[in-house]
Amino acid sequence: MGVNDTYSRGRELLIADPVRAALVLALVVLLLDLVRQLVFGQVPVSQFVVLLKDGLMRGLFFGLAGIGLSMTYSILNFANFAHGDFITSGAFSGMIVTYIIAGGFGAEADIGSLALVGAGGSVFGAQLGIGVASTPLAVLGGVIAAALFTILLSLFIDRTVFEPIRDRSGITLLITSIGVAFVLRYLIAFIFDPSRRGVTDSNAVPSTDILVYDGFVSVDLHEVSLLVVSVLLMLGLHLLLQRTKLGKAMRAMSDNEDLARITGIPTERVIRYTWIIGAGLTGVAGYMFVIWNGTLHWFQGWILLLPIFAAVILGGIGSVYGAIVGGLVIGLTMSVSIVWVPTGLARASAFLVMILMLLVRPSGIFSGGSTA
Amino acid sequence: MSGTNDDADGKDDPVGGVRAAAEQLWEEDAVKLLGLILGIFALYLVGGALLDFGARQQVNLLANLFFYIGVFAMLALALNLHWGYTGLFNIGVIGFMAIGIYTTAVLAKEPALTEPAAGSIGGFGLPLWLAIIGGVLAAAAFGGLVALPALRLRADYFAIVTVGVSEIVRFTVLESDFQKMQIAGYFVGLGGGSGLILDFDPTDDLLEALGLLEPYTAFTESAGAALSLGSNPKPVFDSLLYGLILLVFLIGFYVLLRRVGNSPFGRVLKAIREDEEATQSLGKNTRRFKITAFMFGCALMGLGGILFFAVQGAITPSAFRPRLTFFVWIALIIGGAGSTTGSVMGGAIFAAFLFRGPLFIKNVVQQNVDSDAVDTFGQAVSPLISGLDPFPMLLFITDNLQQLQLVIMGLVLIYLMHNRPEGMLGHRKEEASTISLNRPERSTDSPGATPATDGGEPVDGGDTDE
């Protein structure tokens, strides 16, 4: 009965929507091929687990950073292209504080170099021994600074740039946000110099090797930190949205702004809280990504923006849970895809997944059920 | 741009009469464009003269300006077809440019039938004109491939898809697996991260085809000596000649797009921009119109990309980052989306002031100021704070003008979106109609002054002349 049901559903799908049927078929073929490669040892299981772990890390970051994008997208109705540079801003502001604390407020290196995150190769993260285990206070300070600075930055930009043109079309706001992105990105390059720098001390990160079937998979503390921070923040956001009045107001606003205003919801205040929550999460995500990744540079956020867009669209714009799920899907796609495609095309395959998703289901996985 | 009409009663005042005549002349688009471009050239020449530039430097400066004004105006025109006419929010311009030049490069490069040395890659050895046609067709075909499924999407999704596609193109040409391969005995490839060397010379090829290479070379020698351009004057003349070729192409683009805009086809596109459903209800297959318009625009972008990069000597994937797309957008928004003349003006203003201007200023400062800038922002700030000495900061700013230039562009974009989202000539957005849709003005009391502030000028029937 069950098999029959599936079969007839499949046939209906094939007739009603051949494109989608072809995609489903392609997905099934890829999965079978993956199983084949794993069984015949073309891809060692442990190596596959490493890919999964990498994808999970990336996915958590995409999800965490995507929440802010998804919230502003649904409540303010525009695709914020400056979001990637909020990520970079968060990473840089957090790292300034981390460098200053880890550098003993100028005791270990020139305070100016610390405040510029070692611009011009004056100080390196490894020199200061930065890491979650070696300098926990500096990292904690960095997380808080990243959140606070990104919140302030987003509120400032909203007040000066977006608020005056709130009533215009989404496209006008989108183009404006591209302008904001340019200003932020190149201002960061101007102040902190356009070099790529290592900011953590990779020797100071404790790690363990776990035996997985045919090999070892190493897990280090920075990966665990990214996992813990993202999951905690996502849980907190879930509680906020479901249990508080603010969360209810946000959900109401993303559903229907006019109705929300008529019911007496102070929409401008809700918008402010949207920026505060979204930007705070974005800043922390950017900072934790840099801690995990170990390098920092001025166009990091821009590079990450497109996969984040992919995650948000995949999950369904406006859905916080969609952003998380979409982030995981995109993250896993990027890392697992290298089983089939060359490494350089991993990101391309993530975009391809996004484009295909838009074609078969433009409203995303969690369509309709917008949560914030 | 047409000035104010505070002298509405200046009929019997000779100064006012001259002014009205000048305004009327200014209304002519060709005059406007010519005036703008000549003004820009004059400005740069004066700047160069103040710098004691030699003849060679001055000519190079002009050729350089010519080049960037030409390419940005062309690209803005192509984008105007997408956004200004049809309302397609394409932010993947650079991807189509990349397809154009990469196809041309692979088709036109000297063939390599035996395994070439490391770092060099062959092509198919076609004549350049054929390769250019191939590149344009490839860009159009790729545009069709993107448009077929993506045009169903909302404008903002469409934008994200196009920028995603342009990045996919960049990742593909960057990929080392496609760096070198063998097709039908030819060793060809996309060059990977190190890119492709363009072993053709468009100006020489053109002259040779016309049989003018010999007299041209002789001419450059004699003219170079006459103008004291120094030894080996040919490259200077080559760049000038290329500027002229670009000008011819630009005029071609302009005339073509104006004709398209005023044709029944163009009116359907504008109708789609205004209200797609209403257009559908009039029995137009809007999807087909959109795909055709998109492919046509992509072909023009491909050609723009070919003209942009064909003289650079080499192409590398890093040149195809999305920021060039946004440059074209800024040019279009400055000029005013929806206006052909505006697109060209926007391209010229962007190229002259936002794109080349800061670098020119940097050169001016660095030639005149005889000290080195500090390396980091911190070293520039500390004297400013401690001793109120702004000099290191100013030097640092000029030294890093390349980055600040983009900050300025961003600020200009934000300013425009706040205060003048329709750009310079966007108020003349062409209507989806053969006749003006505005109420005819009773303009007997103010002759000679018909400012168009609320969209459109009164036109006496016939074509809307933009």
Tens digit of each residue's pLDDT (9 = 90 or more) over A270-324 = 888 889 999 999 999 999 999 998 889 888 898 899 889 888 888 888 778 888 8
Q: Is A202 helix (H, G, I), strand (E, B) or coil?
A: helix
- CA B366 to chain A, closest CA, distance in angstroms equals 18
**What is the average pLDDT value for chain A, to the nearest integer?**
84
Q: Check if the beta carbon of residue A117 is closer than 8 Å to that of residue A296.
A: yes
Q: Give the pLDDT score at A216.
A: 81
Residue located via tokens 């797609």:
B276
pLDDT digits (tens, 9 = 90+) for A46-78: 888 888 988 999 999 999 999 989 888 888 888
Phi-psi region of B231 (alpha: psi -120 to 50; beta: other; left: phi over 0): beta
Phi-psi region of B339 (alpha: psi -120 to 50; beta: other; left: phi over 0): beta
pLDDT digits (tens, 9 = 90+) for A166-192: 888 888 899 999 999 999 999 998 888
Q: Which two tokens stand for residue A165?
A: 């043109």
Q: Which two tokens stand for residue B90?
A: 């394409």
User: For residue B439, what is the DSSP state?
Assistant: P
Query: Would you call A176 exposed, middle or buried from its count of C-beta atoms within 10 A (0-12, 13-18, 19+)?
Result: buried
Q: Check if the beta carbon of residue A50 is closer than 8 Å to that of residue A147.
A: no
Q: Which two tokens stand for residue B233?
A: 């004057």
Q: What is the DSSP string of A218-273?
A: EEEHHHHHHHHHHHHHHHHHHHHHHHSHHHHHHHHHHH-HHHHHHTT--HHHHHHH
Better-scored residue on pLDDT, B146 or A13? B146
Ordered alpha helix ranges (H), chain A? 2-16, 18-39, 45-76, 83-102, 111-115, 125-128, 136-157, 170-192, 221-243, 245-255, 257-262, 267-293, 300-315, 320-336, 346-360
Q: What is the mean pLDDT of residues A94-108?
A: 84
Of A79, A112, A168, the CB nearest to B160: A79
With bands split at pLDDT 50, 70 and 90, how would you rate the model's confidence at B93?
very high
Q: What is the mean pLDDT of residues A31-50?
A: 84
User: In whole angstroms, what is the distance from residue B234 CA to residue B238 CA?
Assistant: 6
Of B150, B176, B406, the CB nearest to A344: B176
Tally the C-alpha atoms within 13 A of residue A197's C-alpha that lie toward its C-beta: 25
Q: Give the pLDDT score at B10.
A: 42
Ordered alpha helix ranges (H), B390-453? 391-399, 401-419
Q: Give the pLDDT score at A323.
A: 87
Q: What is the mean pLDDT of residues B393-415?
A: 85
Of B153, B375, B418, the CB nearest to A165: B418
With bands split at pLDDT 50, 70 and 90, how would you rate the model's confidence at A83?
very high
Amino acid at A93: S
Phi-psi region of B430 (alpha: psi -120 to 50; beta: other; left: phi over 0): beta
**Closest residue, chain A, to B323 (C-alpha):** A182
Q: Check if the beta carbon of residue B203 is closer than 8 Å to that of residue B245.
A: yes
Amino acid at A351: F
**Closest residue, chain A, to B154 (C-alpha):** A362
Q: Which two tokens stand for residue B130?
A: 């054929």
Q: Which two tokens stand for residue B264?
A: 């029944």
At residue B450, does pLDDT exceed 60? no
- Which among A310, A335, A336, A305 is positioned nearest to A323, based on CA atoms? A310
User: In whole angstroms, what is the distance from residue B451 CA to residue A102 CA?
Assistant: 64
Q: Give the pLDDT score at B439.
A: 67
With bands split at pLDDT 50, 70 and 90, how would you rate the model's confidence at A153?
very high
**Closest residue, chain A, to B321 (C-alpha):** A303
Q: What is the mean pLDDT of residues A94-98?
A: 90
Q: What is the mean pLDDT of residues B211-236?
A: 78
User: In whole angstroms, what is the distance from residue A295 CA to residue A292 CA?
Assistant: 9
User: In whole angstroms, what is the distance from residue B207 CA to residue A272 CA?
Assistant: 63
Q: Check if the beta carbon of residue A203 is closer than 8 Å to that of residue A312.
A: no
Please indicate whether, in this complex, the C-beta atoms of A348 and B377 are within 8 angstroms of each other: no
Please state, in angstroms and as integers, the Cα–Cα distance from residue B338 to each residue in A176, B2, B80, B261, following that order: 18, 18, 6, 10
Which chain A residues have a beta carbon less than 8 Å from that of B174? 344
Lowest mean pLDDT among A112-126, A345-359, B78-92: A112-126
Of B333, B375, B417, the CB nearest to A165: B417
Which chain B residues have a beta carbon less than 8 Å from that of A174? 156, 159
Q: Give the pLDDT score at B103.
A: 93
Amino acid at B195: G
At residue B72, does pLDDT exceed 90? yes
Total H helices, total E strands in chain A:
15, 4
User: In whole angstroms, what is the distance from residue B180 CA to residue B192 CA?
Assistant: 8
With bands split at pLDDT 50, 70 and 90, how would you rate the model's confidence at A3?
low
At residue A342, does pLDDT exceed 60? yes
Q: Check if the beta carbon of residue B348 is closer than 8 Å to that of residue B39.
A: no
Interface test with A, best of B142, B168, B330 (most A CBs within 10 A): B168
Q: What is the pTM of this model?
A: 0.85
Please indicate whether, in this complex, the C-beta atoms of B414 and A179 are within 8 angstroms of each other: yes
- Which among B105, B203, B91 is positioned nearest to B158, based on CA atoms? B91
Which chain B residues have a beta carbon less than 8 Å from that of A351? 164-165, 167-168
Q: Give the pLDDT score at B461.
A: 40
Please indicate whether, in this complex, the C-beta atoms of B376 and A122 are within 8 angstroms of each other: yes
Q: Give the pLDDT score at B200.
A: 81
User: In whole angstroms, what is the distance from residue B418 CA to residue B409 CA?
Assistant: 14
Q: Give the pLDDT score at B456.
A: 42
Q: What is the mean pLDDT of residues B369-388?
A: 72
Please indicate whether, in this complex, the C-beta atoms of A185 and B171 are within 8 angstroms of each other: no
Of B164, B379, B411, the CB nearest to A354: B164
Which chain B residues have a beta carbon less than 8 Å from that of A317? none
With bands split at pLDDT 50, 70 and 90, how would you rate the model's confidence at B13?
low
Q: Give the pLDDT score at B437.
A: 67
Looking at this predicted complex, what is its ipTM? 0.86
SS (H, E, C) B288-340: HHHHHHHHHHHHHHHHHHHHHHCCCCEECHHHHCCHHHHHHHHHHHHHCCCCH
Please indicate whether, in this complex, the C-beta atoms of B155 and A171 are within 8 angstroms of each other: yes
**Closest residue, chain A, to B377 (C-alpha):** A191
Please indicate whether, in this complex, the C-beta atoms of A182 and B376 are within 8 angstroms of each other: no
Q: Give the pLDDT score at B143.
A: 93
Better-scored residue on pLDDT, A342 or A156? A156
Q: Check if the beta carbon of residue B123 is closer than 8 Å to that of residue B111.
A: yes
**Closest residue, chain B, to A185 (C-alpha):** B407
With bands split at pLDDT 50, 70 and 90, how would you rate the model's confidence at B222?
confident
With bands split at pLDDT 50, 70 and 90, how would you rate the model's confidence at A337?
confident
- CA B33 to chain A, closest CA, distance in angstroms equals 26
pLDDT digits (tens, 9 = 90+) for B123-178: 787 888 899 999 999 999 999 988 887 787 878 888 888 998 999 999 988 887 77
Please indicate whether, in this complex, the C-beta atoms of B403 and A120 are within 8 angstroms of each other: no
Q: Give the pLDDT score at B9.
A: 45
Q: In the A/B pair of chains, how many CB contacts fall below 8 A?
A: 141
With bands split at pLDDT 50, 70 and 90, how would you rate the model's confidence at B119?
low
**Closest residue, chain B, to A343 (C-alpha):** B175
User: In whole angstroms, what is the distance from residue A255 CA to residue A262 CA?
Assistant: 13
- CA A170 to chain B, closest CA, distance in angstroms equals 8
Task: Find all residues with CB under 8 Å of A299, minimum gap 6, and list them.
Answer: A88, A185, A189
Better-scored residue on pLDDT, B54 or B280? B280
At residue B264, does pLDDT exceed 80? yes
With bands split at pLDDT 50, 70 and 90, how would you rate the model's confidence at A160?
very high
Lowest mean pLDDT among A353-367, B81-95, B302-316: A353-367
Better-scored residue on pLDDT, B462 or A122? A122
Share of chain B above pLDDT 70, in %: 85
At residue A238, does pLDDT exceed 70? yes
